[in-house]
Amino acid sequence: MTIQTFRQISAYNLKTFRRNYVSEISGSLGDLGTFLPIAIALAVNGTISLSSTLIFSGIFNILTGLFFGIPLPVQPMKAIAAVAISRSFNNGTIAAAGIFVGICIFLFSITGLLRWFADVIPIPVIKGIQVGAGLSLVIASCGNILSSLGWVQPSWADNRIWAIAAFIFLIITNVYRRVPYALIVFILGLIFATITSALAADLPSIAFWHPYTVVPTPHQWSVGALDAGIGQIPLTTLNSVVAVVHLAGDLLPNIQRLSVTSIGLSVAGMNLIGCWFGAMPVCHGSGGLAAQYRFGARSGSSVIFLGALKLLIGIFFGESLVGLLKRFPSALLGVMVIAAGLELVSVGESLNTTGARDIMKASFGILGDARQEIGPMLSDEDRKRRWTVMMVTVGLLVGFRNDAIGFLAGMLCHVGYELPGLWEKVRRRWNEGRVRLE
C-alpha cells in the first residue's frame, strides 16, 4: 500500500464517520452476535484470555479499518472454536490450532495459491458458499440460541417475547434502514445485563490487563493442529478470504477492491501474533461483513470505533466482564445473528444479473461500463445451470455443516455441466489438426 492510498482511505473513513456516525457506530456492533457467544464460551472454560482477546481483536479491528477502509470484521475461527468448546481445550492447544492455521494461510498467500484459488472458483460456487453461510447462521441462531427460550424463561430480560419484539423491530428497520437497529438492541441488552448482574452482585470491576505468553507443548501442537486446525483451513480459505473479497465487491463496489493476498496475509498475521498471548484465533468473515453492512457500516471507521472500544474495555476490565457478558440476553443476540444471516443470503439474488462479477466482467468489454443494464447476458439454460450449481453448494454445505463439502459438491456440479462443451472443443481441435496434416 502506498502513502497516497493510505491517505485516501483515511480521508474516506473520516468523511463517512462525520456524515453518518450513528450508522457507523450501529454497524460496528453488527457482528457481536457471533463474537460474544463464542468468546464467552471459550473464556468461561479458561481456553482463552478474554482480556487478551478483546485487546488483540481491538488492535486488529483498528488496523483493518485503517488499511482496508471497509467494515471488515474480526471474528472467531468457528471450526476451531467448536472443537475447543466440545473438548474443553486448554489455552496452549487452541493457541497451537490458531498459529497452525496462520502459518498455512501465510504460505498460501506468499506463494500465490490463494490468488489462483480465487481465480478458478466459479461465481455460482462462491455465491453458494455465501448463501450457505448465511443460512447456517440463521439455523444456528434458531436451533442453538433461540429454541431454548420459553415465553418467560430463563428470565424477565431474556425470553421468547423479547425475541419476537426484536424480530418485529428488525422487520420494521428493513423498511426504515436509517434506524440504528444494532445500536438500539445492543444498548437495551447491555442495560438488561447490567441490571441482572447487579441483582446477582456480579458487576465488572477494574482489573488491569496482565499480559502473558502461551507456548504450546509438542502434544498441544499435535492435538491443536490435527484435531482443530486442519478442519479450519478450508473454512478460512473459502469464507474468510475468497468469499469476503467477492462480497466486499458486491456490497461496496465504489471502494477499491480488496486483494485476496492482502486479506490472506491479514488473517495470517492476526493469528501469528495474538494466539501467543492467549487470544482467541480470529479471521475475517463474509457473515460479519454482511452483518456490519446491514446495520449501517460503510467504511473502516466503524471497525476502528469498535476496536478502540474493545481495547479500552480489555485493558481496564478484562476477565471481570465474563459475568456481565454471560447475562447479555440470548433473545437479542439470536435475532442479531438472524439479521446477519439474512443479509448474507440476499447476495445470492444477483447470481444471474449484471451484479454478478463474471457477468459484469463480460459486459465491461461490450459497453465500457459494467454497471449498465444490457439486457439478458445468459440464456434460460445458463441461468438454470448457474442456479443449480449455487443451490447444490448451499444444500450440501448446510446439510453437512461443512464448507469444504459444499464447495466440492458445487465444483463437481459445475464441472459436470462444463464437460460436454470441453469434449466438443477437444474434438473440434483434434479434427482441425487432422485436416491440417492432410
Q: Which domain holds residue 79?
A: 8-345
Please tell me whether residue 282 adopts helix, strand or coil conformation: strand
Kindly state the average pLDDT of the residues 158-174. 93
How does DSSP classify residue 136?
H
Q: What percent of the chain has pLDDT over 70?
A: 92
- Tell me, yes or no, whether 240 lies in a domain: yes
- Tell me, yes or no, whether 365 lies in a domain: no
Looking at the structure of the chain, the number of domains it has is 1
Q: What DSSP line would sit under 193-205, residue for residue?
A: HHHHHHHTT----
CB atoms within 10 A of CB 184: 15
Q: Sorting pLDDT into bands at 50, 70 and 90, what band is 306?
A: very high
CB atoms within 10 A of CB 427: 10
pTM of the prediction?
0.82
Kindly state the average pLDDT of the residues 29-48. 85
162-166, 272-276, 318-322: which range is least confident on average?
Answer: 318-322
- Tell me, yes or no, whether 206 lies in a domain: yes
- Tell me, yes or no, whether 114 lies in a domain: yes
Q: What are the angstrom distances between the C-alpha of 180 and each of 33, 163, 267, 297, 398?
A: 15, 18, 29, 10, 30
Decide: 310 and 61 in contact? Cβ < 8 Å.
yes
Quote the pLDDT of residue 85. Answer: 82
- Tell me, yes or no, whether 1 lies in a domain: no
Q: What digits encode the pLDDT tens for the residues 359-393?
A: 555 554 444 444 444 345 677 888 888 899 999 99
Phi, psi of 365 (to 5 degrees): -70, -20
- Tell me, yes or no, whether 332 lies in a domain: yes
- Tell me, yes or no, whether 23 lies in a domain: yes
Please tell me whether residue 14 adopts helix, strand or coil conformation: helix
Examine the pLDDT at 330 and tell me if it is beyond 70.
yes
Beta-strand ranges (E) seen in 84-147 are none
Q: What digits encode the pLDDT tens for the residues 415-434?
A: 888 887 777 777 777 776 65
Examine the pLDDT at 159 and tell me if it is beyond 70.
yes
Reduced DSSP (H G I as helix, E B as strand, rest coil) percent helix, strand, coil of the chain, to 5: 75, 0, 25
Q: What digits encode the pLDDT tens for the residues 177-224?
A: 788 888 899 899 999 999 999 998 888 888 888 889 999 999 999 999
- Tell me, yes or no, whether 370 lies in a domain: no
Q: Which residues, 6 or more positions from 250, have their beta carbon under 8 angstroms from its beta carbon?
A: 347, 350, 355, 357
> CA 293 to CA 290: how far, in whole Å?
5
> CA 231 to CA 87: how far, in whole Å?
15
| Residue 382 cell numbers, joined | 445458463
